[in-house]
């Protein structure tokens, strides 16, 4: 794999700068779509953030998850449930939003009685715990972005730091777009996925920023972008492809939260690779030029 990618991309001379306006337009459009989706559909928060009941059940005969979901949707006395297989088709996880745990659990057990399930685990997440998780998750994401800004600020220039943060926020927003568009459950695993992509995205950007700084002698912005990105392209693509190949089987072989987590990581890597090549580098040099012009005028 490494030999194939290296032989194809080493010494290449793609004109990435030529497509920076198109990339900005595509990204701007996707960001607008994200905000429209959040306004119209919102996010489907998991019970980690809303509070509710989690049941892990087992059936010796196996469980027809499609039929069970249909039975749930037909019952007007039950809240909307998220139902997924665990290890196999005999193990199931059922999540329902409910603030009245005793009443909700009683209704659930009454509904599930004909299925003769064995209850392996019953968890309840209260409103105070869910509020605390929302706060801590938000703090974790904000802190990680600020930490990246400080790191880039001292390693490079303020313009590079701002570019890195804007690119990271761009990636986070597009990941949220996927959650809203596909109505995926946003829970604590989602926060972990977002934080992982923040690190992955900024790492790709740092590699390109290093080359942009090395090529400071090239005054033509378009040429500087192309030389810097082409020099690192083989490494960037190789890292992304090998990671995606490792994650892809998990998407097809798993279900539930693990499947969603893997899908978001894979999508995030693709988005981060795109943004580091087409967004981060042009933004960094654009901001750097504006900073230098203002500095000269002052």
Q: Where are the domains of the chain?
A: 2-45+129-293, 52-125
**Arithmetic mean of pLDDT, 247-273:** 90
Percentage of the chain lying above the pLDDT 90 cut = 29
Crossing angle of helices 158-181 and 20-40, rounded to 10°:
50
**Beta-ladder partners of 58:** 91, 118
* pLDDT at position 60: 86
Q: Which residue has the tokens 């926020």?
A: 169
* pLDDT at position 116: 87
Sort 148 into a burial class: Cβ within 10 Å, 0-12 / 13-18 / 19+.
Answer: buried
* pLDDT at position 298: 44
Banded model confidence at residue 81, pLDDT cuts 50, 70, 90: confident
Banded model confidence at residue 25, pLDDT cuts 50, 70, 90: very high
* pLDDT at position 128: 65
Q: Residue 290: is its pLDDT beyond 50?
A: no
**Arithmetic mean of pLDDT, 233-249:** 89
Banded model confidence at residue 283, pLDDT cuts 50, 70, 90: confident
DSSP state of 17: G
Contacts of 225 (CB under 8 A, 6+ apart): 16, 17, 20, 212, 281, 282, 285
Banded model confidence at residue 265, pLDDT cuts 50, 70, 90: very high
Banded model confidence at residue 204, pLDDT cuts 50, 70, 90: confident
* pLDDT at position 127: 65
Contacts of 70 (CB under 8 A, 6+ apart): none
Q: Residue 291: is its pLDDT beyond 80?
A: no
Cα distance between residue 202 and residue 197, in whole Å? 8
Percentage of the chain lying above the pLDDT 70 cut = 91
Question: How far from chain centre, in Å, is Cα 286?
Answer: 27
Cα distance between residue 225 and residue 235, in whole Å? 16
Cα distance between residue 69 and residue 84, in whole Å? 10
pLDDT top residue among 3 and 240: 240
**Arithmetic mean of pLDDT, 110-123:** 89
Rounded (5°) CA angle 207-198-25:
80
pLDDT tens digits, 182-194: 989 888 889 999 9
CATH assignment, 52-125: 3.30.70.3400
Banded model confidence at residue 287, pLDDT cuts 50, 70, 90: low
Q: Which residue has the tokens 């539930």?
A: 256
Is the Cβ–Cβ distance between 145 and 270 less than 8 Å? Answer: no
Residue among 182, 178, 183 nearest 269 (CA): 178
**Arithmetic mean of pLDDT, 42-67:** 86
Is the Cβ–Cβ distance between 178 and 267 less than 8 Å? Answer: yes
Cα distance between residue 103 and residue 117, in whole Å? 19
The 10 Å CB-count burial string (b at 16+, else e) for 76-104 is eebbebbbbbbeeeebbbbbbbbeebeeb
Average model confidence (pLDDT) across the chain: 84
- Helices (H) then strands (E): counts for the chain: 11, 6
Residue among 217, 218, 229, 223 nearest 281 (CA): 229
Longest dimension (CA), the chain: 79
pLDDT tens digits, 56-65: 999 888 888 8
2-45+129-293: what CATH class? mainly alpha
């Amino acid at each position: 794999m490494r030999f194939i990618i290296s032989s194809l991309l080493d010494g290449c001379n793609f004109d990435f700068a030529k497509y920076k306006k198109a990339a900005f337009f595509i990204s701007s459009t996707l960001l607008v779509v994200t905000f429209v989706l959040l306004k119209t559909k919102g996010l489907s928060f998991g019970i980690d953030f809303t509070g509710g009941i989690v049941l892990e059940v087992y059936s010796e005969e196996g469980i027809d998850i499609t039929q069970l979901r249909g039975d749930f949707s037909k019952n007007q006395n039950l809240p909307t449930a998220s139902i997924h297989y665990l290890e196999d088709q005999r193990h199931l996880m059922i999540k329902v939003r409910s603030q009245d745990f005793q009443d909700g659990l009683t209704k659930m057990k009454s509904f599930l009685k004909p299925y003769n399930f064995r209850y392996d685990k019953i968890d309840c997440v209260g409103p105070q715990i869910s509020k605390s998780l929302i706060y801590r998750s938000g703090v974790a994401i904000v802190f990680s972005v600020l930490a990246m800004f400080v790191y880039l600020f001292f390693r490079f220039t303020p313009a590079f730091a701002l570019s890195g943060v804007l690119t990271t926020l761009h990636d986070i927003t597009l990941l949220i777009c996927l959650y809203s568009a596909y109505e995926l459950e946003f829970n604590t695993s989602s926060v972990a996925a977002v934080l992982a992509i923040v690190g992955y995205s900024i790492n790709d950007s740092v590699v390109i920023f290093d080359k942009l700084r090395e090529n400071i002698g090239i005054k033509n912005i378009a040429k500087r972008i192309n030389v810097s990105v082409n020099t690192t392209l083989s490494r960037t693509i190789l890292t992304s492809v090998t990671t995606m190949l490792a994650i892809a089987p998990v998407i097809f072989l798993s279900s539930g939260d693990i499947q969603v987590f893997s899908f978001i990581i894979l999508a995030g890597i693709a988005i981060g690779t795109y943004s580091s090549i087409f967004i981060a580098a042009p933004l960094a040099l654009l901001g750097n030029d504006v900073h230098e012009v203002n500095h000269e005028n002052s």
